[in-house]
Amino acid sequence: MPTLTTLYFDQLEYSDDAAFQFAAGIPGFEEHTAFLFIQQPHTNPLVFMQSLQDPAVCFIGLPAKVVDSDYHLELSPEEAIALGMPAGETSRIEANLLSLVLLTFAENTEPVANLMSPIVLNLQTHRGIQAIQLGSSYSLRHPLVLEQAAACS
């Protein structure tokens, strides 16, 4: 079983079929064509998107539904093909897809989530893309609301 040095988790053993293939990388990281998506109990619901090409490249993301429970993903036919989805079935296969939004941290402000450019994983084919939501109103820097509302009694 291959071992990877990761940015946040030291050495990590993984099985080859756990990796997700990004044929075109993502903007700015075109040469990074395979990532592991790591979750662990202490950091749930965070998901760590660790590059297999470079241990120093690890994004931190959240399932889009955690940030916006109504999050709606649109995919172009080209994106559906890149994810290995059968043609013409884009509406029915959402069950196999997971959208993650990447987080950006800045000093003294709450983290922001990139809802405009979700990482979309096909859990069946283990292919992934960054699917920029053209023409949507989703923000590139959506502030995370971290304070929980008090429970109504």
Residues that bind other proteins (CB under 8 A): 1, 6-15, 18, 26-29, 36-40, 42-47, 56-60, 62-63, 65-66, 98, 102-105, 111, 114, 116-117, 123, 130, 132, 134-135, 140-141, 146, 148
Alpha helices by DSSP H, listed for 48-141, are 64-67, 77-82
Most distant CA atoms of the chain, gap in Å:
53
Query: Considering beta carbons, is residue 66 or 73 the nearer one to other proteins?
Result: 66
Query: Considering beta carbons, is residue 86 or 110 the nearer one to other proteins?
Result: 110
Q: How far is the CB of 79 from other proteins (least distance, A)?
A: 13
Q: How far is the CB of 141 from other proteins (least distance, A)?
A: 7
Q: How far is the CB of 85 from other proteins (least distance, A)?
A: 16
DSSP category for residue 68: -
CA distance 90 to 81: 10
Contact present, 24 and 30 (Cβ < 8 Å):
yes
The answer for 73, left when phi > 0, alpha when psi is -120 to 50, beta otherwise, is: beta
* 102 CB neighbour count, 10 Å cutoff: 19
Q: How far is the CB of 87 from other proteins (least distance, A)?
A: 23
Among candidates 137, 116, 120, which has minimal Cα distance to 129? 120
DSSP category for residue 48: E
Q: How far is the CB of 66 from other proteins (least distance, A)?
A: 5
